[in-house]
Chains A and B, each alone.
Chain A
Amino acid sequence: MKKPFKICSLIDLVKSVLELLGGIALILVGAIQLSSAATQQERLPAAGLVLLGAVLVVISLCAFYWLSAFKKEFAKGGKEGYDFKLVLKYSILALIFAQMPTAVVTLIDRKQNRDWLEIRNPKRNTANDLFDEERPVYEEGYQSESKTIIRMVSSKKNDKAYRTRGIEDIGSKNNWKGWLYLAPVIILVAIFLIYPLINTIFISFTENYKYASGEFDGLTLTNFTYILGLTDKANGAHESYFVSYAIPNTFLLVIVTVPVSTIIALLIAVALNSIKWFQKILQTIFFLPYVTNAIAVGMVFSVIFDRQGVINFIFGTDTTWIYGANQYVAMVPLVMYIVWSSIPFKILIFLSGLQGIDKQYYQAAQIDAAPRWKVLAKVTVPLLSPQILYILITSFIGAWKEYTSVVGLFNGPGTRGRAGEPNMETIVFYIYENLNQNTSAAAAAAVFLFIIILAFTGLQFLASKKRVHY
């Protein structure tokens, strides 16, 4: 209960501070422009800037107020039990006010950006000027176009060959404004993507990193050797599950589920695309697994594959699939479940790709008496290759990070749940398991996974250069 609120308020706080600063900066810039402006036309956009800055400042001050109120109420609650309604109200108000400036800026930007950002010197910067010096600048009917500006597509400011007189390269001059608009996103990305990434890499090199306090005893490489089972910790702890279970399990899932589900999805999509009746209904049916919940359906699968379950009943077998099963036997329901749940999205993508392929290619192939498999292999698949590449890359990455299906099916890292060996563990599962107690090792495993995925995806892109036809 505590944590999410804290994080929420922190983000809002950071945002409002930034917006306050941004508002003040805008007011300053507007004021400077206003003081140097000579004509009515120049004054207008500058005034707009000042106004916008003022609005930002007011909004962010509001956000500050609600945030502090929220914090006060929240802090009070810690000791005496807080009024939940009040906390919620404050937090929502704070949230709204903290988000508002972004929305305001975006809206104004979309509507007005031409008027108050790009027009500097309309007299010189008209398209007319460029081609005809003698011509009267504003002709009847051309008035509305007079604010047109030509952006030079040149990153080299001083490259003389690109220089043209009479044109102001606004693109380069207004750069800082672009950065200003991007700032909220960049800051968010920095906080939630780049910082965690760098921090993870950092933690993976620290010794005895303490999750709660953030303290550690110097830098080391032993975390990596530890998870790979090469060295033991100082306290004698030995790690063998990562190499014996997490890596092979993950690798097996990657090389089995992705090709199998992609091929099945492709075949289903091609079949769906070639029928006329019930296409929409079947499409809906095939899409159903996508809207189901992974954990819930995982439990259903574990019931189906139970010893007294449907599968054993149909095939007349007496195999232990889930609880207490052998590692590789338990892989069967796991793989089937992952394939089942990953097919619908692929079908959707493939179908949309298939519908974009010109029917004439198929008519041409028909006239050339190409058999069906050949049409599929030589025409459909190459023309669908961009979609196939997309699906392969995303689902390979997804398969490397497989986790929820194991939880859903086995309710733990192994076929005996929490008890027994974690024989169904995947890399991500290992990371979760070790996050609290053994943060450095978890971080090392995360970095290990990151490098594998990066290399794998890079390889795929390399391989795709020849095979993908855009």
Chain B
Amino acid sequence: MEIRIKDLTKIFPGDPKKNIRDTIAVKDMNFIVPDGKLVGLLGPSGCGKSTTLYMISGLQVPSSGEVWFGDQEVTNLAPEKRGIGLVFQNYALYPHMSIYKNIEFPLTNLKVEVPLVTFFRFTLNYEYDLAADDVPALIVRSVESLCKKIGLTKKQYAVSQTVEGNKLKLTVVLDNVAPSVRDVFKENFPRIIPANLASENEEQTSEALFDSTVRATVNKVDEHQVLRVAFKGKLGLKFETSHIDEVINAFTNAAKPFGKVETAAIARTSQGYELMATVGGIKHVDLDASLEAAKACYAFAGGMEYVILAVTNKELEKAVKDHLKASKVSFSDFKLYFDRKNVKVYFKLKRANQDMAKRLIEELSQKLSLTDLETDVVQAIAHRKLTKEERRDIVYDTAKLVQVDEFLERKPNQLSGGQQQRVAIARALVKKPRVLLLDEPLSNLDARLRLQTREEIRRIQQETGITTVFVTHDQEEAMSISDEIVVMKLGVMQQMDAPQEVYNNPANLFVAQFLGTPPINVFNGRVDGKNVYIGEDIVYQTEEDLGQKDIFVAVRPEGFVIAKDDDKNVLHAELEQVQILGRDVSLVAKNEACTKPTFKVIVAAEEAEDAKPHLALKIKPNKIFLFDGETQERIRVK
């Protein structure tokens, strides 16, 4: 399931009384989370990443913008209908429930769709040679538990046994089930007991049921039908406003014999004046006569026409409803309405079998002489809850996936932080969500566990293939497990790309500074034509002419090489300190132009031996980034 975010904005309203201004938490977010990928929302605290996540989950309502899951817009959908799993920052495991109950809880609310196809009663007779230590009662019980496991309720199955000598005869009755259920049963039965199917018998218990939506035009108009009619008449350009009362009175008098005048008014249009009126309670037989009367009411009424607004014949409606009710088919949304010139009918038949639905619609279409019949027939669907056995299987599977199956009996506070975290993931995964959302899932864990758990999250995500969005402020965490990361700052998205790409090609100074440990070194510099200066040193030469301006030059710590004597374009700095890191050495150096007092240079240990107190550093061309001095946007150079 692909997640698309369009112009998502969230503004938390302030309180003008207390002089608190509105807060823009998220502004015009636009990004797409590809199907099955893991995307990290990364940013410092207060950047709106959690707000974005909660808007995707539906727990926060966006001020504007849209959220799409695949082809479905879910912006205004309640969180429980979005099919998401959410792992909270401090897990929110119910402290009073065991781990098993915690994981099971979402399943108890879940409902499975059961298509109402043709149902049968299947009688399956099995024969089995009893071994010495077989207990027939136990065999029956395990067959029963198989029935429960495949989602049958107690009414739907019956297992009985008779022992004849050495032979056990098992009779399994599956009542009111679809053939597919029988197939599942037959497929799984040999796993319990290797018995032979002696005979099989089926009889139909119910027919397939369908929901039909009917939309049609009613042509037959009853002579006794009572109508509500809207009249419209052009009064022409010559009409004078002083005659208004006269016209209205005349119309009222003319219409009175036919029905009750509800409204009558004269409206001014660009083509002159128009008489508009509604008259209720006009009998169908009088319809034309009433129009003639209305026309005659005033000489100016050149083109009087009438429009039937609504059929208010309750009798008609009642007749149709009675007809449907008599057939014991439940129906809903019955509507008679007027569409331009025709009376239309709309209703839904629920859970009717095909013949019945067809017959009913035919009968009605004759009765009302329906034309333009549009029927839409779909398989009717019933819902049922998951059985206890089904739930248990799912819980065990999920618990195994996140490796908490040993602790199912315990309470959450008897688990360590990492285990609680995995339980929280299991609870989110158990209902097979379309989208998994994680809110700072690792922030409660210690450093070592964090490393381990983030790999765990990656593994679970890849095994299940669920589109996952997670929020973190830890850049290392985001870079190591995400397929793509979204860097945010103060509610605005800065960059979205693959982790390596964000590191190698930061879009602006903020992204460059936010990613990487030790952080990137930033120098105040300037460009003059093709030369890039830090202080008085030309450190880099571009291919295109950039003119003259102040810029920021940012260099990754690993982007420096200790220059040889004859190298050009070197940066001069004073060496302050040498920090041994093992494989690498970090040189702490000083340069006037650096935005911080010192900067760091990471070089291989053997290279560091050449380091002198007065350092001359050459910069690798792919590790240097130029940013505009004012906008801090990247200046892309070759």
Residues of A within 8 A of B (CB): 358, 360-361, 363-371, 374, 378-379, 382-383, 385, 469
Contacts and interface: CB of A to CB of B under 8 A. Distances in A.
Contacts of A469: 95-96
* Closest A-B pairs by Cβ, 8 of them: A369-B80, A469-B96, A360-B92, A368-B106, A382-B96, A364-B92, A369-B109, A360-B88
Given A371-B109, A379-B94, A366 B80 contact: yes
A363 B59 contact: yes
B110 A369 contact: yes
Contacts of A360: 88, 90, 92
Interface residues of B, number: 23
B431 interface: yes
Given A363-B88, A369-B81, 4 more contacts: A361-B94, A363-B92, A368-B105, A378-B94
Given A383-B95, A469-B96, A367 B109 contact: no
A378 B105 contact: yes
A382 to B, nearest CB: 4
A469 B412 CA distance: 12
Nearest to A374: B109
Contacts of A364: 86, 88, 92, 94, 427
A445 to B, nearest CB: 41
A382 B97 CA distance: 9
Contacts of B105: 365, 368, 370, 378
B51 interface: no
Interface string B93-132: 0111100000001101110000000000000000000000
Contacts of A378: 94, 97, 105
Contacts of B79: 363, 366-367
A358 B89 CA distance: 12
A367 B94 contact: no
Contacts of A369: 80-81, 106, 109-110
A370 B111 CA distance: 11
Contacts of A370: 105, 108-109
B521 interface: no
B92 A358 contact: yes
Given A374-B109, A378-B105, A367 B86 contact: yes
5 contacts: A361-B92, A363-B88, A366-B80, A367-B59, A383-B94
A469 B427 CA distance: 21
B95 to A, nearest CB: 6
Nearest to B106: A368
B601 interface: no
A86 B172 CA distance: 99
B487 interface: no
Contacts of B86: 363-364, 367
Interface in B35-74: 57, 59
A365 B81 CA distance: 13
A386 to B, nearest CB: 11
Q: Most chain-B CB neighbours within 10 Å: which of A363, A371, A374? A: A363
A35 to B, nearest CB: 57
A367 B96 contact: no
Contacts of A371: 109
B152 interface: no
Contacts of A365: 105
Nearest to B57: A367
Interface of B: 57, 59, 78-81, 84-86, 88, 90, 92, 94-97, 105-106, 108-110, 427, 431
Contact of B80 (A358, A367, A385): A367
A2 to B, nearest CB: 57
A358 B59 CA distance: 15
Contacts of B85: 367
Nearest to A368: B106
Contacts of B88: 360, 363-364
A326 to B, nearest CB: 45
A119 B84 CA distance: 64
A376 to B, nearest CB: 13
A383 B80 contact: no
Given A363-B59, A374-B109, A378-B105, A368 B80 contact: yes
A94 B431 CA distance: 75
A54 to B, nearest CB: 55
A382 B101 CA distance: 13
Contacts of A367: 57, 59, 79-80, 84-86
A378 B86 CA distance: 19
Given A360-B90, A371-B109, A378-B105, A366 B96 contact: no
Contacts of B59: 363, 366-367
Contacts of B90: 360
Nearest to A365: B105
Contacts of A385: 96
Nearest to A364: B92
B385 to A, nearest CB: 12
Contacts of A374: 108-109
A368 B109 contact: yes
B37 to A, nearest CB: 22
A109 to B, nearest CB: 38
A374 B57 CA distance: 21
A335 to B, nearest CB: 32
Nearest to A358: B92
A358 B90 CA distance: 10
Contacts of B94: 361, 364, 378-379, 382-383
A371 B59 CA distance: 16
Given A367-B80, A368-B109, A374-B109, A383 B96 contact: yes
Contacts of B106: 368-369
Contacts of B431: 368
A360 B79 CA distance: 14
A384 to B, nearest CB: 10
A366 B77 CA distance: 13
A277 to B, nearest CB: 15
A357 to B, nearest CB: 10
A364 B59 CA distance: 10
B111 to A, nearest CB: 9
A366 to B, nearest CB: 6
Contacts of A358: 92
A383 B97 CA distance: 10
A159 B532 CA distance: 79
B61 to A, nearest CB: 13
B101 to A, nearest CB: 9
A364 B88 CA distance: 8
A363 B86 CA distance: 9
Nearest to A359: B92
Contacts of B110: 369
Contacts of A379: 94
Most buried by A among B84, B96, B109: B96
B555 to A, nearest CB: 44
Contacts of B97: 378, 382
